[in-house]
Amino acid sequence: MDTHRTGDLQIDQDPDAQRHHWIAERVGWTVITLVILAALLGLFGSGWLSEASVGTPEGALRLEYSRFGRFLAPTTLRLQLGPDVIHEGRVSLWLNRDYIEAAQVQRILPPPEAVKAGADRLTYVLRVSDTGRPTTVTIHLEPDRVGSLSGQIGVAGHKPLRFDQFIHP
Amino acid sequence: MDAVLRAAVVYLFLLLVFRIAGRRMLSQTTTFDLVLLLIIAEATQQGLLGNDFSVTNAFLVIITLIGIEIALTALKRRSARIEKWIDGVPSIIIEDGRPLKDRMEKARIEERDILAAARTGYGLERMDQIKYAVLERNGDISIIPKQRSG
């Protein structure tokens, strides 16, 4: 190994390399700051950038969801139901099967009375009070697939809502 | 957002708790201190990660902790007052072989701790061979021996 002497010291100094390392460190600090800011804004999970909602134009359905989620970390869908989607105290809510398989449903509030499997969707029948006022259904999920998920949620007789999520590893 | 906030809160909490506990606490590396440190690490881990075991969460928590550390270092370089509050100040506990009882009492240091430091570092035998003993900011006791010729 090549060793040099500086004064009385036998030492492997390399001022050029050291200068480069210092520059690299400072670049790294900037990256860390940017990542923390992005995380605070919600790019990697909860936060302002992640909050999203879609709704049908006539206001029958409105879905609040997170654009960004994390692998096996809880996330929720909040679906607001207008009074005209509730029939005889029940609402039949469906989700596409591809989405459900990727984002495991942990819990639905209120708990469904029945679940029906269709070709490409699962339908949940929920009891809802029929008071002519809007109500909300909350679906708790734990995505176990990484990458983009595209979901569809709907109620019989109304246009479905489409939403996209990205699940970080 | 939650990962960053959790990490920041835990960082500040630990900073405060260990500052209150005193400097000697973690520099005393007895077996039990090591065990205690492991238990604290285990308990902290739960609060840091929550029920989110994704790699992204782990990376964010790590990056936040390191980020705060870098930011605090920069802050300490700028302000001597902040540095004193976070890291503490060194204090002399033995002057010319004479123990400063009051300070030792406050810092919870016994004469035998100082003698142990003198033995391990310098092979000194008695208190009167010590010129100065200083409790450093990291909790170590540094010893300056009297000149043997003197």
Q: Which residue did the predictor score with more confidence, A60 or A33?
A: A33
Residue of B nearest to A145 (CA): B54
Nearest Cβ partner of B4 from A40, A71, A74? A40
Q: What is the pLDDT of residue B29?
A: 67
Q: How far is CA B102 from CA B24, B107, B120, B144, in A?
A: 16, 9, 25, 20
Q: What is the pLDDT of residue B28?
A: 64
Q: Strands A61-66 and A135-143, how do they pair?
A: unpaired
- Say whether residue A29 is in contact with chain B using an 8 A CB cutoff: yes
Distance from the Cα of residue A60 to its chain's centroid: 23
Q: What is the pLDDT of residue A90?
A: 87
Could you list the beta-strand ranges (E) of chain B: 91-95, 98-99, 130-135, 141-145
Q: Is the ipTM of this complex over 0.85?
A: no
Per-residue pLDDT reduced to its tens digit, A41-76? 999 988 899 999 999 888 889 999 999 999 999 999
Other Cβ atoms within 10 Å of A160 Cβ, number = 17
The DSSP call for residue B140 is: P
As a whole-number percent, the residues of chain A with pLDDT over 90 amount to 68
Residue numbers of chain B with a pLDDT score lower than 50: 150
Other Cβ atoms within 10 Å of A35 Cβ, number = 18
Residues 6+ apart with CB under 8 A from A108: A124, A126, A137, A138, A139, A140
Phi, psi of B62 (to 5 degrees): -60, -45
Region A22-39: mean pLDDT is 95
- Say whether residue A36 is in contact with chain B using an 8 A CB cutoff: yes
Contact B57 A45 (CB under 8 A): yes
Q: How far is A48 from chain B (nearest CA, A)?
A: 9
Q: What is the pLDDT of residue A84?
A: 83
Size of interface A-B (CB pairs under 8 A): 60
B-chain residues within 8 Å CB-CB of A168? 54-56
CA distance B140 to B136: 5
CA distance B44 to A114: 42
Burial B84-107 (b: 16+ CB within 10 A, else e): eeeebeeeebbeeeebeeeebeeb
Contact B1 A70 (CB under 8 A): no
Best of B51, B55, B57, B64 to mutate (most A CBs within 10 Å, chain A): B57
Whose tokens are 């790294």? That residue is A28
Q: What is the pLDDT of residue B150?
A: 46
Other Cβ atoms within 10 Å of A54 Cβ, number = 14
Nearest Cβ partner of A32 from B54, B56, B67? B67
Q: How far is CA B108 from CA B50, B112, B134, in A?
A: 36, 12, 14
Q: Strands B98-99 and B130-135, how do they pair?
A: unpaired
pTM listed for this prediction: 0.82
Nearest Cβ partner of B1 from A45, A71, A74? A45
Contact A39 B67 (CB under 8 A): no
Q: What is the pLDDT of residue B26?
A: 63
